[in-house]
Amino acid sequence: MAKIVLIGAGSHVFSKHLVTDILTYPELRDSTITLMDIAAEPLVLITDYARKIVAQNGFKTKIESTTNRQKALDGAYYVLTTIKVGDWQPSAAKSVSEYYGVDLGRGDTLGAGGVFYGARHVPAIMEICRDMEKLCPDAWLMNYTNPMAIITWAVNDYTLVKNVGLCHSVPHTATTLAKYLGIPAGELEYWVAGINHMAWFLELKWQGQDAYPRLRERFKTPEIYGAPDANYNGPDIVRAEIFKAFGYFVTESSRHMSEYVPYFQKSPESIAKFKAINRRPGQKTRLQEDEELRAQIENNEKIPLEHSSEYGSIIIDAIETGKPARFNGNVKNTGLITNLPEGCCVEVPCLVDREGIHPCDVGDLPPQLAALNRSNISVQELAVRGIMEKDKTKILQAVLLDPLTSAVLTIDEIKEMVDNMFKAEKKYMKEYK
């Protein structure tokens, strides 16, 4: 009986999906699911949800709940992390960078905000890994926490933990592309590789034929990708422009992609033109999500047992049963993508079976795509080194190299901004020199 641990279970948007996904597999219903969070109130909420869905289906799954991380990890087979350090409001560092005109979107993956977000989260993930090395050394860590590439790189270089970084941008984008192409989502075939939030649909096929010519033809009509409901994040103009300029479709949403390149957020006019920072249509607040979950727990309606697009349970099922599966994962580049730096974090197709996770060789990316990826990888590398070495200079250099930040600010302005970000985040940056 596998012990599956969710750390940061109070992040119940993820946790709802992950718990439900596990229970869709009959072979996993005799598992123990241990829910752990340092925040008691949201932990109670997701625990009640998990116990209700188990009870209403008559499953034998054991649901445990604890605020003690060591207790949760003891004897674990699989550890899924969805943590957020601090409260649910934007970080103080992001507020500073917004004042300077950058990080106007999410700011949790790259850029000045992403680097400082990593400075919050990498140490917390390191603590989890140290516990895993002692309490469950053979367990798999599946991380969902951002900044994905920075965290995965740090885990690979500074721990002994078997790990993979998981993100839903590939299946979400595949669904969006099927909509743009006007075909059933299940009929789309693809091969995707690059880095997290900037991976590329290197192959896109429908009924055995290259679907890119059809997509280019469809994108001659701007309403296809520019409408308010073009995809779940609204207008998709940024990704359409990247596709037209560089020849391949990228995985992450337009509002994220606009943060990773220097073209779309240089001025209020360009932001408005490309709709680079639109709020997700109908996006709910955390309080609204809490209330919806509470109502779902308290009413008499049966909770649907439906699988989401998250990869975690797919991996667990394949390892437990030996039934092979494929997914896109964030792993160490050991020659997998030959024109990206050795040792960086790449997102590539992975096969998984009873023996574990097997990343696939991709070879060279088209040079223009590798160049875009490398512009982000340089920031990630310096961020990892700066965070692990508590080095202010490397953190500054990471931000100086960020494509968007360097397009908006001068060197002196970036230095001033980073200095103020350190002051704003002093609670988390005490050891930096």
- Which of 12, 17, 121, 168 is an active site residue? 168
Rounded CA gap, 50 and 19, in Å? 7
Sequence-distant (6+) residues with CB within 8 A of 189 are 203, 204, 205, 206, 208
Where residue 162 falls (left for φ over 0; alpha for ψ -120 to 50; beta otherwise) is: beta
Q: CB–CB of 17/49 below 8 Å?
A: no
Maximum distance among all alpha carbons in the chain? 63
365 contacts 202 by C-beta, under 8 angstroms: yes
Strands (E), 91-197: 140-143, 162-165, 188-195
Question: 168 catalytic, yes or no?
Answer: yes
Backbone angles phi, psi at 361, to 5 degrees: -70, 135
Q: What is the C-alpha separation between 361 and 194, in angstroms, rounded?
A: 12
Bridge partners of 36? Answer: 7, 66
| DSSP β-bridge partners for residue 203 | 191
Helix, strand, coil abundance in the chain, percent, nearest 5: 50, 15, 35
Q: Is 409 helix (H, G, I), strand (E, B) or coil?
A: coil
Beta strands in 89-132 (DSSP E): none
| 3-state class (DSSP) for residue 70 | helix
Catalytic residue set: 168
